[in-house]
Amino acid sequence: MAESSVLRWRGFSRRIEQQAGRRLAIALLFSAVVVLLNLCLGKVAVSPWNVMRILFGEGSASLSFIVEQLRLPRLLLGALIGGALAVSGLILQAVVRNPLASPDLLGLTSGASAAAVLYLSSFATLWGMGGLSMAAMLGAGAAALAVYGLAWKQGTSPLRLVLIGVGVSAMLAAATTFMLVFSPLSTTLSAYVWLTGSVYGAGWPAVRALATLLACLVPVLMLLSRHVVVQQLDEGLARGVGVRVQWLRAALLAVSVALAGAAIAWGGAMAFVGLIAPHIARQLIPVGFAAQAWMAALVGANLVMLADLAGRTLFLPLDLPAGIFVAVFGTPYFLYLLIRQRQ
Amino acid sequence: MTSIESHNLTLAYQRQTIIESLDLQVPRGKVSVLIGSNGCGKSTLLKSFARLLKPQAGTVILNGADIQRKPTAAVARELAILPQMPVPPEGISVRQLVALGRYPYQSWMQQWSADDETAVARALNRTSLDDLADRPVDALSGGQRQRAWIAMTLAQETELVLLDEPTTFLDLAHQIEVLDLLRELNREEGKTIIMVLHDLNLACRYADHMIAVHQRTAYAQGTPADILTEALVKTVFDLDCRIIPDPFFHTPLCIPFGRDIPR
C-alpha cells in the first residue's frame, strides 16, 4: 500500500513516498494547463500556439503585450499569493493542531485589513498607493505579535493561541468597519476591493518583490519541515524525543506569518485560500509535511489562478476581484468540511 | 547501580510544592512502579525524571550527569517517556508513528538511515505490530494503539523507558498484555522501566521495585512484598484493607474494604 523508495548516499538519506511523488507530478501538470488557459483566455483570446510562440520571443507585438505584460504578471502574482497563503495555513493548522485554523485565525488577515484600511483612509492621499502593501504587512505582523504575546504564559499552548486569535481578530474587524463607516465613498470602494482580494492590474515589479520575499522563506521552511510532524505529538512526547517545542513553534509561526503577511500585502484579504488549500493537500498527501507543503502551494496557486480566470472572463467586460471566486469555490468545500468534521 | 536518581529534589507548580527535598535512587535494569493516591505527585516526579519539568531546587541525575545540563537530543537517546493518553498526529500510520521515535538520531542530512530502518522494523516486530504497520493509528483498538506508542519508545533505543499509567482506559486483558510486554522488554532487552500504575495488585505483580509517593516524598520503597502492608495502604490511600499473598503469583494481594468491613 504505502510504497516508498529510500535514497541513501554517504551521510545523506531520505525516504520518499512514491504516491506523494506521483500526485505532485500530476498537480504540476494540472498547473501547467491552468497557466496556459489563463494566458489564452480573456477579452482577447490568444491561441495556445501563439502563446507558446510569444513565450519563446516571437509573435506579434500587440498580442505579446497582452500576454507578457498583462496576463503573465497577474497570473504569477496570483499563483505566488495562493501558494504562500496555502502553505501558511498548512503550517498554522499543524502548529495549533486544529484543521480549521487559517491565517485569519491568528488575526493576520484582520490585522492586515485594519492597517490597509487605515492607510487608505488616512495616508493614501499623502504617500500614494505604493505604501499599501507595506502597511498591510506591518498590520499582519503586529496582529500576530499581539496574539502571540497575549497568549504567552510560560510558553504558548495551541488552545490559548486560537482563543486569543479569535478575540483579537474580532476587535480588529470592528475597528476596520468603524474606519470604513467614517471614510469617504471612494476610500470605502477601494478598501472593499482590497478586502475581497484582487490581483487586478498586477505588474512585474510586484511579482519580483513578492517572489524575492518568498524565495527567502522557502529555504527556512525546508530546514524546519522535518520537525513539523514530531511537533504534532503531545508536548510531553515531542520533548521526550528531543524536540525543542516552544522554539520550534515560534519559528514555524514566524514563517507562517511572514508567508501570509506577504501574500495579503500584495493580494488583499483572500480569505479561504489558507483554510481550504491545506485540506485538499492533506487529502491528496496524508502524511509527510514537506510533500504536503509543495502540494498545498500548488493547490493554492491553482485556486487563485482559476478564481482570477473566472473573475476576468465570466462577466466580461467586467473584471471582478479574484477573492469573490475564491469564496465561491471555497464556501461549498468549507461547508462540506464542517459537516464531515461533525461526523 | 542506579540509572536515574534525584538529589534534594523539590518540584512545584507555581506556589504549590509537590515534591520536597527528595533523595531517590531508582535501580538499573529493574521494573520500578510508582504508586500513590491521586494528586500525590507521582506523575510530576516522572515528568521531572524526563526533564519535562524543571525542578525548583535539587537535581535529577541521569547516568551520572545533571539532566538539566544535557542537550535535549542526548537525553532523548538515553530515556524515552510515554505520557498518559497521547494523541497521534492526524492520519499517521503505525510505521510512521514508530519512525518518529528515531527523531533524536536524525539530522537534516540524515533523515532515514539504515539504522533507522532496522530500529523501526525491530520495534514493530517486538510489539507484534508487523501486520498492522501500514494501518492508520486512529483505526487501531486501545490495546494495539498502546503497543504502537510503546513501539515508538522502543525505536528510540533508550536504556530507560518511563511510562505514565500505560494501562489507563484499557480493559483487563489488554492491561495484562501491555504489562507482560513491558516485563518482557525488561527481561530480554535489559530495559530499565519506571512507570506509574494505579492498580495496586497489578503493580505488585509486575514491580521488582515499588515506590510509594506520599507526603511530598518517597514514603516507602522496596520490593512489593516488603513494603505493601495494611498500614501503608491506610496511610497512603486512607483505605482499610487486608493484604493476603496471591495464591498463584505469591505477590501481595490487596483486598480493599470500603464501607463493608467483613468480620
Looking at the DSSP assignment, which residues form a beta bridge with residue B7? Answer: B59
Element (H, E) at A291: helix A289-313
Average pLDDT over residues A316-340: 84
Neighbours of A198 (CB within 10 A): 24
**The predicted structure's pLDDT at residue A249:** 86
A278 interaction partners in chain B (CB closer than 8 Å): none
β-strands B241-245, B79-82 pairing: unpaired
Closest CA of chain B from A263, distance in Å: 27
Instruction: Identify the closest residue of chain B to A242 by CA–CA distance.
Output: B73
- Amino acid at site B141: S
Select the residue of B88, B92, B103 nearest A242 (Cβ to Cβ).
B103
Closest CA of chain A from B146, distance in Å: 14
Spatial CB neighbours of A95, under 8 Å, sequence gap ≥ 6: A158, A231, A249, A252, A253, A256
Percent of chain B with pLDDT over 90: 73
pLDDT digits (tens, 9 = 90+) for A146-156: 988 888 877 77
Closest CA of chain B from A291, distance in Å: 14
Q: What is the mean pLDDT of chain B?
A: 91
Closest CA of chain B from A91, distance in Å: 14
**DSSP classification of residue B40:** S
> Rg for chain A (alpha carbons), in Å?
21
Q: Given the cut 0.90, state whether the ipTM is greater than it.
A: no
- What angle in degrees, to the nearest 10, is found between the helix axes of A72-95 and A289-313? 140
Please name the residue ranges forming H helices in B79-219.
94-100, 114-126, 142-155, 172-189, 200-206
Give the 3-state DSSP-derived string for A236-281, with helices as H, strands as E and coil as C: HHHHHCCCCHHHHHHHHHHHHHHHHHHHHHHHCCCCCHHHHHHHHH
Instruction: Identify the closest residue of chain A to B77 by CA–CA distance.
Output: A241
- What angle in degrees, to the nearest 10, is found between the helix axes of A18-40 and A72-95? 150
- Amino acid at site A171: M
Query: Is residue B211 over pLDDT 90?
Result: yes
Higher-confidence residue of A57 and A71: namely A71
Reduced to 3 states (helix: H, G, I; strand: E, B; else coil), residue A16 is: strand
Q: Chain centroid to CA A209: how far? A: 16
Q: What's chain B's length in residues?
A: 263
Q: Which of A7, A12, A13 to probe the B interface (max B CBs under 10 A)?
A: A13
A27-36, A98-107, A268-277, B9-18, range with the lowest pLDDT: A98-107
Higher-confidence residue of A194 and B248: namely B248
Highest mean pLDDT among A42-51, A54-63, A67-76, B41-50: B41-50
**The predicted structure's pLDDT at residue B263:** 65
**Phi/psi at B18 (nearest 5 deg)?**
-100, -45
Spatial separation of the C-alpha atoms in residues A328 and A323, rounded to whole Å: 9
A2:B134 CB<8 A: yes
B110 interaction partners in chain A (CB closer than 8 Å): 11-13
pLDDT digits (tens, 9 = 90+) for B136-153: 998 998 889 999 999 999
Spatial separation of the C-alpha atoms in residues A267 and B244, rounded to whole Å: 75
Spatial separation of the C-alpha atoms in residues A92 and A89, rounded to whole Å: 5
Query: Is residue A212 over pLDDT 50?
Result: yes
Q: Which of B52, B112, B134, B152 to probe the A interface (max A CBs under 10 A)?
A: B112
